[in-house]
Amino acid sequence: MKQLGRNSRRLVAASVLVIGAPAFAAINTAAIVASTLSPDCLEYKVVGICYWLLCTPFGCSVKTSTKVRHFVPDAVVSSYSNTGENPWTEVSMFSSPSGLAQDGGDGTTSQNNQNEMAKFKNADVIGHPGGATFSQFASGSGYVCKGATTAFEPYLLSTLDTIAWRYTVPEMVYPEALIPGRREVGGMTRGNLWGAVYPRGGFLHQTDDYKAGAVVAQRAGDIVTRSAQIHVYLSMVAQPQDGYWPAGELLEGDATTGKWQELTPTLSQSCAVFPHSNAQVQAVDGGYAWALWRPYSCCQREGQTFLGSTDFQ
């Protein structure tokens, strides 16, 4: 009877865990890989013609190939309240709490009527795991451009970027952080201000948790798509090559520089920029994740020497 009681308690505990799990924002690698099958995010277009000089023992000739442009899911950007609890379950161990990066969550006086709340979000930028699936999907439209990242590669872990992320040093004194109206997600005059990109750290004043998570994700994306930033990170910047034009710097509100596909707490089949008017589900545990899709252009090599390209527009 004593053993039966112990087993019963284990069964009840397991049931509670199973029942409680859907209330929290979490996503696994399989779901992230499947999310790459999105024509809306891909946005495949034929945009021009490339010219190549092909030389053989019998002479030289000019060959052409189609120039295409499409978006690539470069990274999964997670923005979450509790240190060590990245909603992408398989990589949560990358950002475990440390002596320099512990705790998280909101700054509050615990009053029900409080409206001015300082929120804190950790952020991780990790190479998107769906490269092979995406390439197979995109190849159905034509030639496919390669992205700038490696699957599962950590490009930014805020737990390792403690000085900049938690104390906003030195970005608190940048002009973008001191002058209102510069580098903002949305705008006060437009009535859709979600927050400022600078200083690019984990703290901001925003009562809406979803919007706070989105602004922090935008900050993380802003850092990793640029070189020589005063942060601990790896740059997601590819070098141009003959017949290859990689994505540039991410800019808030500009879909031509990158767009976001929500992965959790809801999984979307479309992409958008921040701010947007789509349904915004608040995560119970303050954890959010988006796939960052960035635009690339390329054409298939048809000769030894690249002569240039012509765009239709």
Residue 55 domain-assigned (yes or no)? no
- Strands (E) in 175-214, as ranges, are 184-185, 195-196, 203-205
**C-alpha to C-alpha distance for 224 and 52, rounded to whole angstroms:** 33
Residue 12 domain-assigned (yes or no)? no
Q: Which pLDDT value is given to residue 246?
A: 98
Residue 206, helix vs strand vs coil? coil
Mean pLDDT rounded to a whole number for the chain: 88
Residue 250 has pLDDT above 80, yes or no: yes
Residue 3 has pLDDT above 90, yes or no: no
Residue 24 pLDDT level (bands cut at 50, 70, 90): low
Residue 109 domain-assigned (yes or no)? yes
Cα 272 to Cα 87, 208, 214, distances in angstroms: 20, 19, 12
Residue 29 pLDDT level (bands cut at 50, 70, 90): very high
Q: Which pLDDT value is given to residue 190?
A: 84
Least confident span in 69-73, 101-105, 122-126, 284-288: 101-105
Residue 117 domain-assigned (yes or no)? yes
pLDDT tens, position by position, 180-204: 889 999 988 888 999 999 999 999 9
Residue 195 domain-assigned (yes or no)? yes
Q: Total structural domains in the chain? A: 1
Q: Which pLDDT value is given to residue 25?
A: 72
Q: Which pLDDT value is given to residue 302?
A: 96
Q: Which pLDDT value is given to residue 189?
A: 84
Q: Which pLDDT value is given to residue 6?
A: 42
Q: Which pLDDT value is given to residue 85?
A: 93
Q: Which pLDDT value is given to residue 228?
A: 96
222 closest CA partner among 26, 75, 97, 81: 75
Residue 106 domain-assigned (yes or no)? yes
Residue 251 has pLDDT above 50, yes or no: yes
295 or 181, higher pLDDT: 295
- Token pair 């798509």 in the structure block, residue: 225
Residue 214 domain-assigned (yes or no)? yes
- Residue numbers of the domain that contains 250: 25-45+75-299
**C-alpha to C-alpha distance for 203 and 168, rounded to whole angstroms:** 9
**C-alpha to C-alpha distance for 164 and 158, rounded to whole angstroms:** 9
Q: Which pLDDT value is given to residue 97?
A: 74
Residue 86 domain-assigned (yes or no)? yes
Cα 28 to Cα 39, 76, 128, 231, 269, distances in angstroms: 21, 11, 12, 28, 16
pLDDT tens, position by position, 117-164: 689 999 999 999 999 999 999 999 999 999 999 999 999 999 999 999
